[in-house]
Chain A
Amino acid sequence: MRVTQSLEQTQFISALDTLESNISTSEAEESSGLSFTTPSENPAAAGTVNGLNQVLSQSVQYSSNASSAQGSLQTENTALDQVQTQLQSLYSLTLEAGSGTQSQQSLTALAAQATEIQSTLLGVANTQDGEGQYIFAGYATQTQPFALTATGATYSGDQGQRQVQIAAGQTVGTADNGDLVFNEIKNGNGTFSVTAGPNATSGPGGTSGPNTGTGIIGATTVTSASSYTGGSYTIDFTAPGTYKVLNSTNATVASGAYTSGAAIAFAGIQVTLSGQPATGDTFAVAPSKNQSIFATVQNLVTALQTYSSGPSQQTQLSNSLATALGNINQAINQTSTIVSQVGGRLNQVTTQQSVATAQQLQLKTSVSSLQSLDYPSAITTLQSENTELTAAFQAFTLTQGLSLFKYING
């Protein structure tokens, strides 16, 4: 095999190109700390790293969403705590009003306290979060949701529930709308309610007026949920000791002799009355309907304020207080339900946050293991490339020194 000097030189130059480009790549890797700087150096890893970074960025966004959801839910939780405290006070106040030792004056004072509670509740219902958004307004977070009226409060929010994504395919509601929390509270016992009156002839000039007897509404229960179909009934006292129960088309569904404290049963429900109803006194049974907390307080305040002494007034007050207690109890139940839901969501968010933190750590580790430079091996590579280049220089100098012409003396 003949080897020519010109080929040797050409090959040396092309070897230099390769060696120096290798060294330059190694240098780029070491200065960037990345094991590849273009996809071609490791196509599969480059694609995977891109995918992992996307998942990572998404996960970071979910974490940030979860933090904001956590903030909102904690704000709601605090607000609901306050609602519960206020409702407990209202409940005690109502019990106190019904203790039978109250004067008109002390009742007026209690009414003032109830009004106070009502305005506290209104403040809570209009709670704003750190960004000035009303948390109980549904989607309409820029609108103040509640305003008091003569009979309760109006609601200007909507029934939306804002959702935040905290994981792939997992969203969590960040608040509950005010309608649900403050308005949609079934009155009575949650299934039906009983109200006293009217007496068709007790009013001025024989017109319809309040009951004249001392019949007070006691416990109300549903004995057979399937038998009670949501109808309205009237318990009509035809004589002080006799009642009949009429349905909405005035047909008698039950009748009997009245005993104070004994349950009157019909259509799957029981109503207990005590005291002595007068002839013509009625008690209306109606399916429960939603009544806002504000209306409940308003009704209570009205009842306390309009009290004037007398047995009939006392009976009316007792009945109003009984109704109020039932409704307050319903509101407490409703709030408890929502508090436990909020707790559940908070749990969900917290769990998801720790999952996300672990996931992010794992993703970063994966990205790093694919992309980060293994310095010891990179330095070794660079050193061996350096050695290779030095060796190439020496070999070339050595072979180029070999020429027969050197030994021909002219």
Chain B
Amino acid sequence: MSNLFGITTSALAAFETAIAVTSNNIANANTQGYAVETADLTSAIPQNTGESAIGNGVDVSGISRAYSSLAENQLNTSQTGLSQINSLQTYTNQIDNIVGTTAGGVSTALQNYYNAWSTLASDPASAGARAALLGQAQSLAQTFQSTSGQLQNLDTQINTGITADVSQINSDVQSIATLNAQIVVGTAEGEGQPPNDLLDQRDAVVQNLNKLANVSTTVDANGALNVFIGTGQPLVLQGTVTPLTVIPNQFNGSQLEVSTATNGNNTLSSSITGGDLGGLLAARTQAVNPTLNQLGQIAVGLAQSANAQQNSGLDLTGKFGANLFTVAAPAVTASRGNTSAVTAGATVTGVGALTTNDYVLSYQNGAYSLKNAATDAAVAFTATGSAANPSFTADGLSITLSGKPAAGDQFLIQPTVNAAGSFGVALTNASQLAAAGALETTTASSNTGTAAIGTPAVVTATNPNLLTPTTITFTSPTTYTVGASATSYAYTSGAAIAQNGWQVAISGTPATGDTFTVQPGSAGNDVNALAMANQETQGVLASGTVSINGATSELITGVGTQAQQVNTAQTAQSAVNTQALQTVQSISGVNLDEEAANLLKWQQAYQASAQAFSIGNSVFTSLLTAVSGTAS
């Protein structure tokens, strides 16, 4: 009889536990990291009566959580990928918008600028047309600056994001270390029963951590979780935490990098490829900076070609044109780790060879080497200058160094990053616009011969007498003198006559006494303005194959394509993540219908056990009644 009560009591206790576990499951149906739990029931050790073994009721041997570390790892991996692409997408979409609207603005401003030159060509001395052109040049500069400014704002946002992410990561790894300590104690005390809820909590933190950066984990025998980041740098080892730090880039102090050290230049940035942090770092190196460089390349191309043309024409006062645009020289920054006083500078010498790459110049083993900052690929260069002050020419750049370098010294060279932001108009007075060609000619009215003079070409622009009016006088149909000099030259029709840095061809039959004069372009001359307007379709970039206008189209297509690729990748990664989430949920999730059924199951079992108890009780009462009946 006591056996019957023992059995029913154990059953009532076990079903109560089971109902409690089910209720707990329902309570945690929406708790992140929670794995559905089940009460593990085992039959109690039977009582051997000698003839047979009668069951002794039921025991709760444990409460197990439905957990698959494989599925959990898959979820974490897909989640870190999704967070990375989400964060990258934020930036590519912003660039898409900036370039789609304001760089479209660069394109329109360029059009207006070139059209203003075309208009000026039809009336080169007109003050109105000159002022209009200067205004268009200024609005072009403003468009470059504002587009560049918006892109640079993204860099600032990225820095803010990096700092926030690193602080969140540090808080998460601290939680993991704390949970580790509790889990180690819990596991030891539980005598084989795992501290399920602590494990669930830790899993939730690891999930969060993976949203911030890609980490890898290992579990020790005592239940502690070790967390590693980047190329294996430990963040948590048992209860020890190594926090992440934010340090300035070794070259560019305004760019933040992630490290585990508080000083020095070692960064983990390149190995953080997942999570929000990975997305921020990728956005900077793959989207924001390349776009700035590309925009800068357009700015440098425009400034250099326009300035060169402006320098070869004459302004309204008859002087050679001064530079129309200003643009920053390539940014050359020394590494903070440099140990010598060596200094470096760079200039753009060939805009056609200029790329959108950044470069790192390093001094190692007694020699300089140049490599692409993004790909680490070696870049070929030509060295000139002295050993003490060498110069290097590579990809349209001339890099000059001075001072004695030390091994390990490095410089970052960014040819175009600041160009668009610094793009400005150098001229303040519209009369300084060089609309006139440098030289023009006059054929004397008194000439009786049939010879005609061609268009003079400037050979040596630096010749001080280039603009001195010079008369070519034919002393006979076959000889001529140049300027005041009496030296006589033999005339050949069509042959070049060179003087004062220019050359010109006279062809036909001159007569004795015929004169031709080469003189500076007059105020009404429109040759240079036409050449300026013509630059619109001239190839300037990429070895002269891409015009300034063409480059803006390439920029728009490039940025759009990148944003589109990221959008597509985001959709794909999102599907992968959903799949992983479904797998984890199908293993560890709480299905409320299932729990309802379980609840009914345990309730009914409980009721049946209670009924068994009641029956046992009535059997016992009957027995007592029978016994007392006999007794009375």
Are A and B a genuine interacting pair, yes or no? yes
B591 in contact with A2 (CB, 8 Å): yes
Which listed residue (A4, A230, A404) contacts B449, Cβ 8 A? A230
A interface list, Cβ under 8 A from B: 1-7, 10-11, 14, 37-44, 46-48, 50-51, 53-54, 57-58, 61-62, 64-65, 68-69, 131, 133, 137-142, 155, 158-160, 162-165, 168, 171, 174, 179, 183-184, 230, 287-290, 292, 402-405, 408
Complex interface: chain B residues within 8 A of A408 (CB): 596, 599-600
In whole angstroms, what is the CA distance A158 to B521 when docked? 10
B561 in contact with A50 (CB, 8 Å): no
Complex interface: chain B residues within 8 A of A174 (CB): 122
Complex interface: chain A residues within 8 A of B599 (CB): 408
A138 in contact with B524 (CB, 8 Å): yes
Complex interface: chain A residues within 8 A of B590 (CB): 4-6
- Contact (A38, B563) CB under 8 Å given A2-B589, A404-B597: yes
A50 in contact with B446 (CB, 8 Å): no
Given contacts A162-B124, A164-B121, 14 further A-B contacts (CB under 8 A): A2-B594, A3-B585, A4-B585, A6-B589, A38-B97, A40-B560, A41-B564, A44-B561, A54-B110, A139-B526, A141-B123, A155-B445, A290-B446, A290-B447
B557 in contact with A46 (CB, 8 Å): yes
Which listed residue (A39, A139, A158) contacts B99, Cβ 8 A? A39
Nearest 9 pairs of A and B residues by beta carbon? A39-B560, A47-B557, A43-B560, A139-B524, A40-B563, A4-B589, A404-B596, A43-B561, A57-B111
Complex interface: chain A residues within 8 A of B428 (CB): none
Determine how close the nearest CB of chain A comes to the CB of B591; give it in whole angstroms.
5
Subset of 14 A-B contacts with CB under 8 Å: A5-B590, A5-B591, A11-B578, A38-B93, A39-B560, A44-B557, A58-B114, A61-B119, A139-B440, A139-B526, A140-B522, A141-B125, A162-B121, A230-B477
* Of listed A37, A46, A141, residue having the most chain B CB within 10 A: A46
Answer whether residue B534 sits at the interface, using C-beta atoms and an 8 A cutoff.
Answer: yes
Complex interface: chain A residues within 8 A of B283 (CB): none
In whole angstroms, what is the CA distance A53 to B115 when docked? 13
Name the CB-closest residue of B to A183.
B445
Q: Mark B252-270, 1 if CB is under 8 A from A, else 0.
A: 0000000000000000000
A61 in contact with B115 (CB, 8 Å): yes
Complex interface: chain B residues within 8 A of A155 (CB): 445
Stretch from B51-59, B176-184, B413-421, B546-554 forming part of the interface with A? B546-554
In whole angstroms, what is the CA distance A383 to B588 when docked? 39
Q: Mark B574-587, 1 if CB is under 8 A from A, else 0.
A: 10001001100111
In whole angstroms, what is the CA distance A7 to B121 when docked? 69
Answer whether residue B441 sits at the interface, using C-beta atoms and an 8 A cutoff.
Answer: yes
Answer whether residue B593 sits at the interface, using C-beta atoms and an 8 A cutoff.
Answer: yes
Answer whether residue B16 sits at the interface, using C-beta atoms and an 8 A cutoff.
Answer: no
A287 in contact with B448 (CB, 8 Å): yes
Which listed residue (B511, B523, B586) contacts A230, Cβ 8 A? B511
- Contact (A39, B445) CB under 8 Å given A5-B591, A139-B523: no
A46 in contact with B93 (CB, 8 Å): no
B107 in contact with A54 (CB, 8 Å): yes
B563 in contact with A51 (CB, 8 Å): no
In whole angstroms, what is the CA distance A14 to B550 when docked? 40
Determine how close the nearest CB of chain A comes to the CB of B433; give it in whole angstroms.
16
B interface list, Cβ under 8 A from A: 29-30, 92-93, 96-97, 99-100, 104, 107-108, 110-111, 114-115, 118-119, 121-125, 436, 440-443, 445-449, 477, 509, 511, 521-527, 530, 533-534, 536-537, 549-550, 552-554, 556-564, 567, 574, 578, 581-582, 585-587, 589-594, 596-597, 599-600
- Contact (A51, B550) CB under 8 Å given A7-B581, A141-B524, A184-B445: yes
B578 in contact with A131 (CB, 8 Å): no
> Chain A: interface secondary structure?
mixed
Complex interface: chain B residues within 8 A of A163 (CB): 121, 526-527, 530
In whole angstroms, what is the CA distance A33 to B125 when docked? 43
Interchain pairs with CB closer than 8 A, number? 210
In whole angstroms, what is the CA distance A379 to B586 when docked? 39
Which listed residue (B511, B524, B530, B596) contacts A171, Cβ 8 A? B530
B560 in contact with A159 (CB, 8 Å): no
Complex interface: chain B residues within 8 A of A10 (CB): 581
- Contact (A2, B563) CB under 8 Å given A11-B578, A51-B550: no
Which listed residue (A7, A47, A138) contacts B560, Cβ 8 A? A47
- Contact (A43, B557) CB under 8 Å given A7-B582, A165-B121, A288-B448: yes
Complex interface: chain A residues within 8 A of B597 (CB): 404
In whole angstroms, what is the CA distance A11 to B440 when docked? 76
Complex interface: chain B residues within 8 A of A402 (CB): 593
Name the CB-closest residue of A to B29.
A6
Determine how close the nearest CB of chain A comes to the CB of B583; give it in whole angstroms.
9
Complex interface: chain B residues within 8 A of A7 (CB): 581-582, 585, 589
Complex interface: chain B residues within 8 A of A2 (CB): 585-587, 589, 591, 594
Determine how close the nearest CB of chain A comes to the CB of B67; give it in whole angstroms.
14
B563 in contact with A39 (CB, 8 Å): yes
Complex interface: chain A residues within 8 A of B447 (CB): 289-290
Complex interface: chain A residues within 8 A of B592 (CB): 4-5, 403-405
Complex interface: chain A residues within 8 A of B93 (CB): 38, 40
Determine how close the nearest CB of chain A comes to the CB of B124; give it in whole angstroms.
8
* Of listed B111, B521, B524, residue having the most chain A CB within 10 A: B524
Name the CB-closest residue of A to B552.
A50
Which listed residue (A37, A50, A162, A168) contacts B537, Cβ 8 A? A168
A162 in contact with B557 (CB, 8 Å): no
In whole angstroms, what is the CA distance A7 to B436 when docked? 74
Name the CB-closest residue of B to A171.
B530
Complex interface: chain B residues within 8 A of A65 (CB): 118-119, 122
B448 in contact with A289 (CB, 8 Å): yes
A4 in contact with B560 (CB, 8 Å): no
Determine how close the nearest CB of chain A comes to the CB of B24; give it in whole angstroms.
15
B591 in contact with A3 (CB, 8 Å): yes
Complex interface: chain B residues within 8 A of A183 (CB): 445
* Of listed A4, A133, A160, A174, residue having the most chain B CB within 10 A: A4
A133 in contact with B123 (CB, 8 Å): yes
Which listed residue (A51, A61, A62, A404) contacts B553, Cβ 8 A? A51
Name the CB-closest residue of B to A187.
B448
Name the CB-closest residue of A to B93.
A40
In whole angstroms, what is the CA distance A141 to B99 when docked? 44
